[in-house]
Amino acid sequence: MNFELSEELKMIQSLARDFVNERLKPLERDILGRAADLSDARAYLPREKEVELVATVREMGLWGVGVPEELGGAGLDALGVCLVEEELAQTVVPFHFGDITPILFDCNAEQREKFLLPALNDKKKPYLALMESDGSTDPSGMKMKAVKRRGNYLLNGIKLSFSRAGDDYFAVVFAVTGRGVTCFLVDKDTPGFSVTGGGERTGWLAPIREPMLLVFDNCRVPAENILGEEGKAFRLGMRWLPQRRVVRGARCVGIARRLLDEATVQAQSLVTFGKPVFQRTSIQAALADIAMNIEAARLMVYEAAWNSDIGKSVRRKAAMVKLYTTQMIQTVADRVAHVFNGPPYIEGLPMERLCRRALEASAIELALEKQRSIIAADILKGLKI
């Protein structure tokens, strides 16, 4: 058993680490705000700065990090993607290395030119329209319908999208057709399709994400805009989606590592009752607990990613990763709060945003129950751990 990363992976890791340390971390103040009342805090980097950073990543050859090479990405395997995402999660600057949802990887040649490549080249933003406004998080109870009329489909309904807004965009819409749920690609200028919300917030509201409303009013979409097959929307991206869960686990590990860094600096600099806090055993215990949790989670993530790379099914492993990392990040955030002498929601500190993200990651408790049932199903079928 060899836990050593290959030379190539080590290189990718150090490239990503240097990029985050040298290019992204200096920009953190731009995001968090410099003014005392944080009136200049913002959700995203200015457009021109982002274009510059994307160009740098392209030069490094890491743009489209998880996108297969034949679709124009860097085509790293799952372990490589995990290493990169773990580094990227260590800063509060919202930036990614061409992270496109694998649902779009099933585009045909024509759709690839029209939708996937512009999305990958940052020209068009994909708006994932899965959820609806009735508060239900169960995609199988979807209400929006698409009716077939003379070779076209008429879309009617309202969707919520948490994707990032942009000037040019297209929607990836899930709607019920006669035979199950079908996925449609709807371009910005399609008549009957309109978007409300999604404006960029500044100031203390900046980190709050609000969904956009995508309204479809008798929106006519041609049959060639169906992504994949009719009625089989939930079979899209089957090859890539399970390992995305592992990658999200890697992000949690990255956030936790940064939180540990912040906590260490705090522990070394704060003096209470005439004694530096790091000399107190409870603080040392908190730091040790955090480090142990991170180490365990990281090994789980790497092992699951490695399993995915050698072609094994990662369904159960990915469920375990999700379950463990979301619990881990909550424990870590809690321990860090302990070191900081109170809840870490002090606006303007990097750790406030990091904790926010950490809790976002575990927002859906229901989904965690689902992970447990995936693991239990394998055990009941006779799996021995």
Partner 1 sequence: MPLPVQRDIKEIEGILNEILNTRCPPVGRCRLLSSGFGTAHSLNIAEDISGHKECLGCGNCVDICPFLSREPSRREKTEQRTSMALESIVGEDCDLCNACILVCPQVDTTIKNYVVNHRMVEVMSRLESRIGDENEPDLDLFLEEAISSG
Task: Tell me which residue of 195, 178, 177 sits closest to 186, measured CA to CA.
Answer: 195
Q: Pick between residue 244 and residue 280 the one whose CB is nearest to partner 1.
A: 244
Residues 238-277 touching partner 1, rule: CB under 8 A, are: 238, 241-242, 244-245, 248
Alpha-helix residue ranges (DSSP H) falling in the chain: 7-19, 28-32, 47-60, 78-88, 109-111, 117-120, 241-269, 281-309, 315-339, 350-361, 365-380
CA distance 233 to 228: 7
Residues 295-334, interacting with partner 1 (CB under 8 A): 315
Residue of 47, 123, 148, 235 that binds partner 1 (CB under 8 A): 235
* Alpha carbon 16 to chain centroid, angstroms: 17
| 364 part of the interface to partner 1, by CB under 8 A | yes
For 317, half-sphere exposure in the C-beta direction (CA atoms, 13 angstrom radius) is 21
Strand partners, 176: 145, 181
> For residues 150 and 381, which CB has a smaller minimum distance to partner 1 in the complex?
381
Taking the complex as a whole, the smallest distance from the CB of residue 129 to partner 1 amounts, in Å, to 8
From the CB of 273, what's the least distance to partner 1, in Å?
Answer: 43
Stretch that binds partner 1, among 57-65, 79-87, 129-137, 273-281 (CB under 8 A): 129-137
User: Does the protein bind partner 1 through residue 137 (CB under 8 A)?
Assistant: yes
Residue 312 corresponds to which amino acid? Answer: K
**Residue 241 or residue 349: which is nearer to partner 1 going by CB?**
241
Which tokens go with 46?
């200015």
Contact 142, 174 (CB under 8 A): yes
Asked if 336 touches partner 1 (CB under 8 A), the answer is no
Interface residue with partner 1, options 49, 164, 188, 280 (CB under 8 A): 164
Site string for partner 1, 24-43 (x = CB under 8 A): --------------------
Q: How far apart are CA 53 and CA 36, in angstroms?
A: 28
CA 171 to chain centre: 18
Q: Which of 138, 167, 189, 365 binds partner 1 (CB under 8 A)?
A: 138
Residues of this chain that interact with partner 1 (CB under 8 A) are 101-103, 125-126, 128, 130-131, 137-141, 161-164, 174, 234-235, 238, 241-242, 244-245, 248, 315, 361, 363-364, 367, 370, 373-374, 376-378, 380-381
